[in-house]
């Protein structure tokens, strides 16, 4: 994440309980995923990470973090996730994301997903 802080349009959202962080989401403007999916755009946003402590999952924190970080962008949105991440895929599909491509590199396969501009 440290290198991403310097990217254009960087956004970080934290879920807090007092001073305890129990979830986060961040992203930035970036066309790398758009290029990998052969859909370049000049105003896209990449959701890089979304995480919630395991014991607090299923309570809406992930959905709230998702919405808060995406509120900072209006162009096409992109993310890459593991194709077997069923909980994450359920959240993303419920939030309007669509799978566009599978990308493999360095023995890692990622599902590239896109959400239309608002």
pLDDT tens for 60-97 read: 999 999 999 999 887 889 898 999 998 899 999 999 99
Dump strand ranges (E) for 1-118: 11-17, 20-29, 45-52, 77-81, 98-105, 108-115
For residue 17, pLDDT beyond 90: no
DSSP 17: E
Q: Give the span between the Cα atoms of 114 and 45, in whole angstroms.
A: 10
- 5 — pLDDT class (breaks 50, 70, 90): confident
In CATH, the architecture of 3-115 is 3-Layer(aba) Sandwich (3.40)
The pTM of this model reads: 0.83
**Angle (nearest 5°) at CA 5 between 92 and 113:** 20
Residue with tokens 């599978």, as numbered in its chain: 102
What are the residue ranges spanned by the domains of the chain? Answer: 3-115
Q: In this predicted structure, what is the pLDDT of residue 96?
A: 95
- Over 90: is that where the pLDDT of 2 sits? no
């Amino acid at each position: 994440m440290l290198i991403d802080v310097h990217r254009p349009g960087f956004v970080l959202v934290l879920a807090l309980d007092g001073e305890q962080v129990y979830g986060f989401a961040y992203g930035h403007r970036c066309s790398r995923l758009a290029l990998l999916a052969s859909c370049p755009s000049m105003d896209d946003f990449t959701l890089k990470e979304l995480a919630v402590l395991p014991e607090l999952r299923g309570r809406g924190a992930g959905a709230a973090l998702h919405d808060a970080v995406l509120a900072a962008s209006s162009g096409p949105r992109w993310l890459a996730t593991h194709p077997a991440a069923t909980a994450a895929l359920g959240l993303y599909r419920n939030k309007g994301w669509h799978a566009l491509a599978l990308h493999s590199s360095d023995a890692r396969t990622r599902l590239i997903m896109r959400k239309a501009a608002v």
